[in-house]
Copies of this chain bind each other. A is one copy, B any other.
Amino acid sequence: MARPKGDSSVTEARKQDILKAAFEVFSKNGYRGGSLSQVSEIVGITEAGILHHFKTKANLLIEVLAYRDELASEISGVTESSGLEFVTGWLNLIDYNISVPGIVELYCIVSAEATAADHPAHKYFQDRYEYVIGVTTASMQRIHDDGYMRKNLDPVDLGRAIVALSDGLQVQWLLDRKWDMIDEHKAFFRRILTDEGAKLTGLYIKEKVIA
């Protein structure tokens, strides 16, 4: 992408430093709980310096969220509707999230805050959920059409459910990490895939012993 006029590369690097620090702060304390002074301390700059680059605190948050979305797109190919590959892609995403608890915290806290209609990131999260659920639903539809889904399951229900399940499990995981978040997701996919589908994604278990 072309660099906007007037932004030297050193300026851009500075903005990246601030974004990284703001990301850290908002992850830990949320938007309302995080302050510009915390960010400035990490960067080694004054609060006025930060506002010079981002104008307002709300603006900074939005750019932090956009910054993270770029990262996420690189990590997994979940953005496309892709049948069975969706399953492994989604598991990869969870696996990545486990390695960066800060990101999980950021989304967990800020998405909850942003349910308030006057929150600066309200529209961002509305749009994001609509997009993500669209992708998951399309993938479920594709899995269904390919014949890898068990009988009598509704792809539309499942598209919403997988997003909800992941969000909910992440809250639980932030409060108590003494259980395997990947296993929980695998169990979900095992519930909805045919044996054939489970085999193709490496999730098949011949006989699961239930206590």
Query: What residues of chain A have their CB less than 8 Å away from a CB belonging to chain B?
Result: 28-30, 32-33, 105, 108-109, 111-116, 122, 125-126, 129-130, 133, 141, 144, 152-157, 160-161, 163-169, 171-172, 174-176, 179, 183-184, 187-188, 190-192, 208, 210-211
Contact = CB atoms under 8 A, between A and B. Distances in A.
Contacts of A172: 129, 133, 160, 163-164
A187 B164 contact: no
Nearest to A169: B164
Contact of A116 (B29, B125, B208): B29
Copies of this chain present in the complex amount to 2
A184 B168 contact: no
Chain A binding site: helix, strand, loop or mixed by DSSP? helix
Nearest to A27: B116
A117 B144 CA distance: 42
A109 B115 contact: yes
